Structure 1
Amino acid sequence: MTQKIIRNSNPYWINEKHDFITSFLKHPRIIHAELSTNNDEYDVVVIGTGLSGVSCVYWLRKLYPVERFPRILLLEKNVHPCSGASGRNGGFICPSYDYLADYVEDFGYENGCQWVEFQHENIRSIAQAVKENNIDCEINLTRGNVALARTQKELENIVKSYEFIKDYLEKHSNTKMSLDNLELWDHEKCQEMLHSDKFIGGLFMRESGTVWVAKLVYGLLKYCLEQPGIDLITNGKVIRIENSKNIILENGRVIIAHHAIVHATNAYSVEYMDFVRDKIIPTRGQCSRSKPIETIFWPFGLSANEGGEYYHQSPIDGRITFGGCRWRSPDTEHNNQNDSEINDLIQEEHERFFSLWHPGIATQNCTVEIEQEWTGIMAFTIDDLPLIGPLPGDNKQFLLCGYNGDGMPNAFLCAKAVARMIANDDPYKEGEEKNTITFLK
């Protein structure tokens, strides 16, 4: 009997050899939970140090004076921050214009369009924070992304999404979105741009692109730890919450949160929170990164199969980052929380994807060879809506998770809304004053 080979997950974005990680881990405000069993007390404790959790602390300090929340704690279960989905993604940052037809079908015209407008405002807010804090995270919101259609049904959905946006903009002249941001592609345009005749159309979205999410998170975290009263505990795995106040760690330490607890733990929430166990479905995604390629085939990002596959090419060394193909797994990777291994069936699809769907690459004497692979755990929800806001009947615990694989276009402003909720402020008021959407009702 042949022994199955276990292939390890090796995420590129959070490799500990990167200087931004090794230098940050020396920060004096980082406390290692295993080195102490002392109990401690804080005003606000945020569990999870991915984009959601760090953004929530960032907004608490940006929006309110230190005296409002003197002591804030970020709590991470792993050895270094951003070890979960935020450090294991594909690096895209793009509003879901191409999903709008589905949003409208599921949630209604106004809600669906406002959700896309919210995502548009979200990525602009990220860009502004990056600029204000001089964060080096390789963000590029001018390269654009194209959502591609292989079938007539996919194309009809993309065209319908475009028409919804067009109609919404005509009815809402004050919106900051613009139709100039979008361009419908036909089959000929796809052939011209893609080195492929396999796609019959697409929707190109100009104000979107890519970002090194872990660098973004570490940059925001650097700002947070420079503020008074903020600590970070690593290796602090939460096993339960008692009385909406006491946070029990695996090593027996008890952290006390007097004002609020924020659960920004995405799929990990199911391990210690009864409330989310029938609402969140942990789902494993898989990405790969190729060896360097001399030819740059696409200066923009791409997605296909209704977002089931997504990829972009580095303008520096030509490496292609590719993600998706969960459909190749019999269970589509649902209820899988193991991000230490990769799925061989999905790996096979990654290896054959470009020869199948972009055969023009081979005509230029190029091949796409995988050099690095990794997995990450997303949090899908039973109703396709994120879980944002207070726990029912509990005004001290807040959820900030469940993005259904779309954390980048949603999490930053969702975190801002939760920060306002913690302070008993109106999370909608700012958007109403600025004629945009900063949170959805």
Structure 2
Amino acid sequence: MDQVLPVPNPTKAYWLSEPHELARFRSTPDLPATCDVAIIGSGMAGITTAYHLLHSNKQPPNVVILEARELCSGATGRNGGHCKVKVPTFAGFTPGPGSSTVDDMAVYVHGIINGLKQIVEEEELDCEFELRRSFDIQLDDDESKRLKRIYDESAKAGSTWTRTVDYIDERFAGQITSINGANTAFTGPACSFWPYKFVSQLLARLLAQHPRSLNFQTMTPATSVTLSEDGSSAIHTSRGSFKAEKVVFATNPYTSGLISQFNDIITPIRGMTSHIVPKQPIHPHLSNTYNIDFGPEKGTDYLNPRPDGSIVVGGGKWLYNSDRPSWFNNFDDSMPFPPQTEEYWEGYMQRNFRGWEESGAELDKVWVGIMGITPDGWPHVGRVPGVKNQWMLAGFNGGGMSMILTVAKAVATMVKEDAGFDEVAGGLGVPDFWGTSEERLRVGKDEDLMVKRK
């Protein structure tokens, strides 16, 4: 297998349809010789880590951000654009070692939503941010009963996560959600925004506020990172090398390409998302985001109505799931899925939503995004195991929008204070089982081997 690195010429995502002036920006014609902190990756993880490093520091470090392709051209520019946790995730919650609970996870995600809103307002970002509710819809009767039983048991036990969740029974689920065949549904808090605009505009603010401290370099893939005897790191790129006292890997599915011990721990997988446009806006406007569970044979799609009346919707994994090489351990987002797979999105809104039958909604774009999955389903955050001056936040399992912001603040604090995960994460409410470690790598590889034997 080739080295896990972003490939050139990825498929064209809707979110990237309005390129920012920084899309191919380089602060300096050449790479600097040295820096205090190198951040690899310019998605949500990389840029918000830089924000927290620079924003509240009276003497900000010299930071270099490297991007292999154009600004924010990875998962952040290719996802669904909403932030939430599905009720099935709460219902099936299985933490790793530690004391953090499902209720801690709920509090954490609510904090992410509030934190995103705060940054949008303070930095005056025009990214179509909305505080919303989100539907989790079940079309399968058995799944409806299972989730209702767990919800009732959790509510009776006083679980925090149930306090902001509402249940809609079979009498009203179709009417309230507008979904054909809806059996039951839950609603919970969410937010949505244009992820690329959030990241690109926040980076622009940082470059304007810290012109001497921040250097941004696009079209500069990091090909390897090697340790020096003095504890610093040499960052090797397609354009040369430079020295960094500290390094942050904000590389999500591409992490194993630079940190070999994450082979079989953070695995790249391909997913599919689309943009659908009606001939004219449909009224009333769909105001909630959606996760639609079509049952065990098909799985779940995610859907985000845009303020202009168009729709971003992704999923459809059941169409290609049996062709494992087409998506598992595959980081090529330049290759579209076959036409017969992409056709799933044709007529999607007319088939599934009441009131859209005569909308004339047409498929505008279909694109591929690369996610990073882990054996236990949780990200790896903290010091790179066994390395003092390198940190990471990666492996978000397709849920990065609901995880990254506070993790980025935690990693920025670790870098500033030369600290590890256990010294910082608890104070910020980061779930304790997200911390990366040599032990977790060992257990993860064992779990991965067990999965492969099945």
Note whether the superposition's TM-score is higher than 0.5. yes
The equivalent of 2:345 in structure 1 is 350
The equivalent of 2:135 in structure 1 is 146
Residue from 328, 334, 351 that aligns with 1:334? 328
1:15-414 residue pairs with structure 2 within 5 A?
15=17, 18=18, 21-25=19-23, 30-31=26-27, 35-36=29-30, 40-66=33-59, 69-78=60-69, 80-104=70-94, 110-142=100-132, 144-160=133-149, 162-163=151-152, 166=155, 170=158, 179=163, 181-205=164-188, 207-225=189-207, 226-227=209-210, 228-243=212-227, 245-251=233-239, 253-258=240-245, 260-292=246-278, 293-296=280-283, 298-305=286-293, 308-316=300-308, 318-329=309-320, 330-331=323-324, 333-344=327-338, 345-351=340-346, 353-358=348-353, 361-362=356-357, 365-414=358-407
The alpha carbon displacement at 1:210 in A equals 1.4
Distance 2:259 2:276 in 1: 38
Deviations 1:349-399 (A, max 9, x none): 22254454336532xx22432011111111111221101111111121111
Q: CA RMSD of the aligned region, Å?
A: 2.7
The alpha carbon displacement at 1:408 in A equals 0.2
Q: How many pairs are equivalent?
A: 405
Provide the secondary structure at the position in 2 that maps to 1:188. coil
The equivalent of 1:12 in structure 2 is 14
Deviations 1:56-88 (A, max 9, x none): 11111123322xx5311111111x210100011
Distance 1:107 1:24 in 2: 42
8 A Cα contact 1:98 1:161, kept in partner: no
8 A Cα contact 1:291 1:368, kept in partner: yes
The equivalent of 1:3 in structure 2 is none
Provide the secondary structure at the position in 1 that maps to 2:330. coil
Instruction: Provide TM-score, normalisation by structure 1.
Output: 0.84
Deviations 1:126-168 (A, max 9, x none): 11111111111111013x1100111133224433553466357
8 A Cα contact 1:14 1:87, kept in partner: yes
Bigger shift: residues 91-100 or 102-111: 102-111
Distance 1:239 1:413 in 2: 28
Provide the secondary structure at the position in 2 that maps to 1:125. helix
Distance 1:203 1:370 in 2: 28
Deviations 1:14-66 (A, max 9, x none): 12xx2xx3434587xx336xx53x55100110000000011111111123322
Letter in 1 for 2:253: A
8 A Cα contact 1:96 1:119, kept in partner: no
Distance 2:10 2:38 in 1: 33
The alpha carbon displacement at 1:178 in A equals 7.6
Distance 2:154 2:126 in 1: 33
Determine whether 1:427 maps to 2:424. Answer: yes
Provide the secondary structure at the position in 1 that maps to 2:413. helix
Distance 1:160 1:82 in 2: 41
Residues 211, 161 of structure 1: alpha-carbon distance in 2 compared, 3 angstrom cutoff: farther
Letter in 1 for 2:356: I
8 A Cα contact 1:198 1:358, kept in partner: no
Deviations 1:94-128 (A, max 9, x none): 13444111114777995232122211211211111
8 A Cα contact 1:326 1:333, kept in partner: no
The equivalent of 2:4 in structure 1 is none
8 A Cα contact 1:195 1:361, kept in partner: no
Distance 1:164 1:250 in 2: 55
Unaligned runs of 5+ in 2: 1-8, 434-454
Bigger shift: residues 44-53 or 329-338: 329-338
Instruction: Provide TM-score, normalisation by structure 2.
Output: 0.82
Distance 2:213 2:32 in 1: 16
Letter in 2 for 1:122: I
8 A Cα contact 2:52 2:408, kept in partner: yes
Residues 347, 183 of structure 1: alpha-carbon distance in 2 compared, 3 angstrom cutoff: same
Deviations 1:193-225 (A, max 9, x none): 2334411111111x3131100111112212321
Which segments of structure 1 move beyond 6 Å, counting only runs of 4 or more?
105-109
Provide the secondary structure at the position in 1 that maps to 2:15. coil
Provide the secondary structure at the position in 1 that maps to 2:327. coil
Provide the secondary structure at the position in 1 that maps to 2:186. strand
Deviations 1:315-369 (A, max 9, x none): 42x212110112211227212211123212431222254454336532xx22432
Distance 1:310 1:400 in 2: 24
Residues 188, 219 of structure 1: alpha-carbon distance in 2 compared, 3 angstrom cutoff: same
The equivalent of 2:446 in structure 1 is none
Distance 1:422 1:108 in 2: 23
